């Protein structure tokens, strides 16, 4: 059997006898093998232990490009044009068709080898300006091919003309190791029962364990980016001292979704074009008796300093079941429970859950999405407190570029929309809505008159898109989701 490349390399290293070692490029040439094949043999010998020592080295050299090879063979374009030009010259259009004409004309003119007679009969004419020329470009390329060195100026000019290429060569300097041997003996990788029974393990070399190597990652499930951001948002709320509200009812009555929030029954948001109403069960069984009467009065007659909406409030409309359009309905339920306590105590609530709206689908809107909501109930809260809490909250999300815009909400006054700059879309994107709950919402519940509630809401999808650089929400949720994106998305850290 013919010796392997590794064995031939060891024999060549033994024959060399020099303590300095061998260059892998020279060894490959001497052994008549490709350099990459020799590199493979070096790495296989390194895996055997201290048989050899291999030091990686990097060097650069100059090689002729494909255009350079052509110039070395046929001459530079300017010289080829000059030699093809007859004594009487040629019209410029015909000269351009000569070998090297289109590429060499400007260089020949710059070298003053040819001249252009613009006053010649029949149009501009190209004529020789000197009797003979020397092709220094071809000579310089020949020097490079022979291994000679060129002055920096000439080398830079050939590189600019793309006739020379600077090539990086990676090689190894190979020396004998402490366990050098010309015989390739592969160490054993496992201890077998037969080795123990016969005692042969005492004479055999074993490959040492590599305790630093990493094993194959086990196949496992992966969290969707939305779930990662949800977990991070929940942790931020908890760090800020908030308590999570129960939000386990996707189906809600119009009373809690709209009426309790001082949203009139003729409001456009209650239209079927914006809300998904249920057919079965179509109505809620009952409403809070005393509280619903107060809500009816503040809608139809006013109260608590408000004139209300002055319309006939219908309990049938309030009983209609729907898929909740916001988690503020859960906030209304939580505040109502708070008002039933004997003594008011300040609270901070939050919720993160799914809501549903009859939206037109586009790059930033879906019919089903998640809403993040937070509220603070205490005495003496103002719009300034709200803006401060919003800046603290969004800064923990890693969103520092914020803008506030006055807005209208039926259940908050004053109200603000919150915008953040999206680097992917290169524009300001609405990331939330906020405001101070109206007295017409709070006082019918039974909360004290000096208690204010500041609240804000945002979608879970928008911060996720900003964090992970996703420009289309349909690539985050739905059938267009790339599962590889789910696998590769890193752990969410909103503050970095």
Q: What is the pLDDT of residue 496?
A: 41
Number of CB atoms found within 10 A of residue 320's CB: 20
Q: Work out whether strand 427-437 and strand 412-422 pair parallel, antiparallel, or are unpaired.
A: antiparallel
Q: Work out whether strand 90-91 and strand 243-244 pair parallel, antiparallel, or are unpaired.
A: unpaired
Contact indicator for 319, 284 with CB cutoff of 8 Å: yes
Contact indicator for 377, 448 with CB cutoff of 8 Å: no
Kindly report whether the global pTM for this prediction surpasses the value 0.75: no
Contact indicator for 274, 325 with CB cutoff of 8 Å: yes
Tell me how far CA of residue 186 lies from CA of 11, 181, 204, 365, 383, in angstroms. Answer: 17, 12, 10, 63, 77
- What whole-number distance in Å separates Cα of residue 101 and Cα of residue 121? 21
- The DSSP code for 360 is P
Q: What is the dihedral of CA 91, 97, 101, 102, to 10 degrees?
A: 110
- What whole-number distance in Å separates Cα of residue 389 and Cα of residue 55? 59
Give SS3 for 186: coil
Q: Across 190-343, where does the E strand assignment appear?
A: 243-244, 251-253, 321-323
- What whole-number distance in Å separates Cα of residue 238 and Cα of residue 54? 56
- pLDDT tens, position by position, for the chain (496 residues)? 467 888 888 888 887 765 678 888 888 888 888 888 888 888 888 877 788 888 888 888 888 888 888 888 888 888 888 888 888 888 888 888 888 778 888 888 888 888 888 888 878 888 888 888 899 888 888 888 888 888 888 888 888 888 888 888 888 888 888 777 777 767 788 889 998 999 998 888 787 788 888 888 777 777 888 888 888 889 999 999 999 999 888 999 999 999 999 988 888 877 766 788 989 898 888 888 889 999 999 999 988 888 888 889 898 999 999 999 899 999 999 999 999 998 999 999 999 998 898 877 776 667 788 899 999 999 989 999 998 998 888 888 777 788 899 998 888 989 999 888 877 678 888 878 899 999 999 999 999 989 999 999 888 887 787 777 777 777 777 777 777 777 776 555 554 4
DSSP-assigned letters across all residues of 319-351 = TBEEE-S-THHHHHHHHHHHHTSSS---EEEEE
Q: What is the pLDDT of residue 416?
A: 93
């Amino acid at each position: 059997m013919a010796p392997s490349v590794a064995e031939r390399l060891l024999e060549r290293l033994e024959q060399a006898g020099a303590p300095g070692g061998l260059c892998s490029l020279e060894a490959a040439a001497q052994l008549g093998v490709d350099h990459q094949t020799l590199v493979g043999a070096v790495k296989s010998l390194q895996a055997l232990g201290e048989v050899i020592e291999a030091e990686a080295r990097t060097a650069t050299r100059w090689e002729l490009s494909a255009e350079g090879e052509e110039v070395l063979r046929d001459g530079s374009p300017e010289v080829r044009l000059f030699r093809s030009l007859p004594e009487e010259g040629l019209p410029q259009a015909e000269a351009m068709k000569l070998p090297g004409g289109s590429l060499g004309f400007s260089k020949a003119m710059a070298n003053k080898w040819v001249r252009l007679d613009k006053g010649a009969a029949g149009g501009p004419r190209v004529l020789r300006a000197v009797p003979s020329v020397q092709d220094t470009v071809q000579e310089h390329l020949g020097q490079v091919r022979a291994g000679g060195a060129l002055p920096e100026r000439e080398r830079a000019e050939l590189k600019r003309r793309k006739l020379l290429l600077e090539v990086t060569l990676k090689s190894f300097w190979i020396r004998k190791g402490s366990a050098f041997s010309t015989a390739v003996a592969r160490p054993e990788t496992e201890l077998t029962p037969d080795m123990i029974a016969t005692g042969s393990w005492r004479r055999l070399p074993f490959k040492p364990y590599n305790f630093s190597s990493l094993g194959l990652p086990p196949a496992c499930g992966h969290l969707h980016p939305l779930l990662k951001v949800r977990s991070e948002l929940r942790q931020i709320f908890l760090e800020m001292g908030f308590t999570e509200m129960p939000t386990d009812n996707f189906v809600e009555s119009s009373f809690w979704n709209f009426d309790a929030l001082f949203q009139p029954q003729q409001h456009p948001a209650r239209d079927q074009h914006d809300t998904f109403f249920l057919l079965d069960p179509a109505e809620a069984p009952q409403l809070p008796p005393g509280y619903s009467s107060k809500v009816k009065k503040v809608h139809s007659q006013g109260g608590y300093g408000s004139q209300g909406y002055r319309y006939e409030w219908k309990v049938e409309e309030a009983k209609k079941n729907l898929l909740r359009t916001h988690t503020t309905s859960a906030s209304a339920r939580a505040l109502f429970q708070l008002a039933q306590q004997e003594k008011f105590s300040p609270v901070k609530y939050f919720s993160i859950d799914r809501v549903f709206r009859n939206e037109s689908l586009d790059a930033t809107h879906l019919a089903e999405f998640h809403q993040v909501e937070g509220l603070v109930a205490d005495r003496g809260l103002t719009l300034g407190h709200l803006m401060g809490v919003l800046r603290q909250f969004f800064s923990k999300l890693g969103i520092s570029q914020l803008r506030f815009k006055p807005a209208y909400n039926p259940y908050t006054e004053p109200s603000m929309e919150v915008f953040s700059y999206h680097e992917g879309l290169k524009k300001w994107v609405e990331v939330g809505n906020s405001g101070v709950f109206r007295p017409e919402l709070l006082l019918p519940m039974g909360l004290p008159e000096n208690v204010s509630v500041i609240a804000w809401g945002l979608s879970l999808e928008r911060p996720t898109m900003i964090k992970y650089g996703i420009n289309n929400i349909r690539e985050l949720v739905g059938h267009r989701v790339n599962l590889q994106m789910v696998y590769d998305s890193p752990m969410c850290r909103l503050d970095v």
